């Protein structure tokens, strides 16, 4: 571990390949930290989902004008585009944490099955001995990646899915364990056609149900409204096109189903809090 101002920490980074992105679930980075007594992070925002596992000590998390104290075997998640602030508590043992940052459109719904949502981004007593063992093995596997290949991708996806499964309480309703068949078909339809500018009304028509009924069932089973799900798909594709291609912002806007550059830029800035060209500059930085 390296020493920093507020902690001793190890950082592990991962670059996803095509199999990771096709699965809509991949690791971004991971690490371990031992906090110093004056440990303090934020306020900050990130672009992915960052799970922090409290292994020892206590930490205070502030989000959306709320404050919660967490201790050993608790965890919290930093959700994309939201402001968080977390720090060590005075006169309490400074926290020791492992973290795993994930990305992809499947992450939010899977965290929702464990009760981890933007409105309640933490869980108490979720780190069982099996979950901790799976977490340790996942981080060790990430640290051992020398170069990307399909086998590594599939192994990491399996480890991450197992870890998320360990976080789902045994008391979770059976109906929440997996979306119903017709909702899964709607998700596949949305994944395929989101960049064509489809609306929630069109998805409801595809399912053959009323828009309000579809929205209510989708939100209950997936953990976020269908409009947000469509937006997540478009914004993730936009970020990837900015980072991986030299396409103009106008070309990206029209390719993702937006009627014009202004509408896309406004949506992008509202989602990521920075304009598209600023994100491209930062990625190329």
Mean pLDDT of the residues in the chain: 90
Q: What are phi and psi of 20, to 5 degrees?
A: -60, -45
Half-sphere exposure of 77 (CA within 13 A, CB side): 28
Of residues 197 and 263, which shows the higher confidence score?
263
What is the pLDDT at residue 285? 63
Dihedral, CA of residue 81, residue 196, residue 218 and residue 223, to nearest 10: -20
What digits encode the pLDDT tens for the residues 142-197? 999 988 899 999 999 999 999 999 998 765 444 444 577 889 889 999 999 998 88
Q: What is the pLDDT of residue 176?
A: 44
Q: How far is CA 210 from CA 106, 204, 207, 213, 217, in A?
A: 25, 6, 9, 5, 11
- What are 24-60's pLDDT values in tens digits? 889 999 999 999 989 999 888 888 999 999 999 999 9
- pTM for this entry: 0.63
- Please report the pLDDT score of residue 264 as a whole number: 93
More confident: 113 or 40: 40
- Which stretches within the chain are classed as H helix? 18-23, 107-113, 129-143, 150-167, 181-193, 200-207, 211-222, 226-244, 249-255, 261-272, 276-284
Q: Is 16 helix (H, G, I), strand (E, B) or coil?
A: coil
Total Cβ atoms within 10 A of residue 200 = 19
């Amino acid at each position: 571990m390296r020493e920093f101002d507020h902690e001793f920490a190890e950082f592990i980074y991962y670059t996803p390949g095509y199999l990771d992105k096709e699965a809509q679930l991949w690791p971004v980075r991971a690490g371990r930290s031992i906090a110093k007594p004056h440990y303090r992070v934020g306020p900050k925002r990130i672009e992915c989902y960052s799970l922090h596992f409290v292994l020892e000590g206590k930490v205070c998390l502030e989000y959306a004008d709320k404050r919660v104290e967490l201790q050993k075997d608790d965890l919290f998640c930093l959700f994309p585009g939201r402001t968080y602030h977390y720090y060590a508590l005075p006169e309490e043992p400074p926290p020791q944490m492992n973290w795993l940052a994930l990305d992809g459109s499947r992450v939010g719904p899977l965290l929702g099955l464990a009760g981890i949502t933007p409105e309640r981004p933490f869980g108490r007593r979720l780190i069982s001995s099996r979950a901790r063992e799976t977490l340790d093995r996942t981080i060790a596997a990430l640290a051992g990646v020398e170069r990307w290949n399909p086998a590594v991708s599939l192994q990491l996806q399996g480890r991450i899915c197992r870890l998320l499964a360990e976080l789902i309480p045994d008391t979770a309703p059976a109906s929440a364990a997996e979306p119903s068949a017709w909702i899964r078909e709607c998700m596949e339809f949305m994944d395929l056609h989101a960049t064509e500018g489809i609306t929630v009304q069109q998805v409801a028509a595809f399912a053959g149900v009323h828009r309000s009924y579809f929205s209510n069932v989708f939100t209950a089973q997936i953990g976020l409204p269908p409009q947000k799900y469509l937006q997540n798909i478009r914004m993730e594709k936009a970020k990837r096109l900015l980072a991986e291609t030299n396409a103009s912002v106008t070309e990206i806007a029209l390719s993702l189903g937006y009627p014009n550059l202004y509408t896309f830029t406004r949506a992008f800035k509202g989602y990521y809090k920075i304009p598209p060209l600023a994100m491209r500059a930062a990625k190329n930085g």
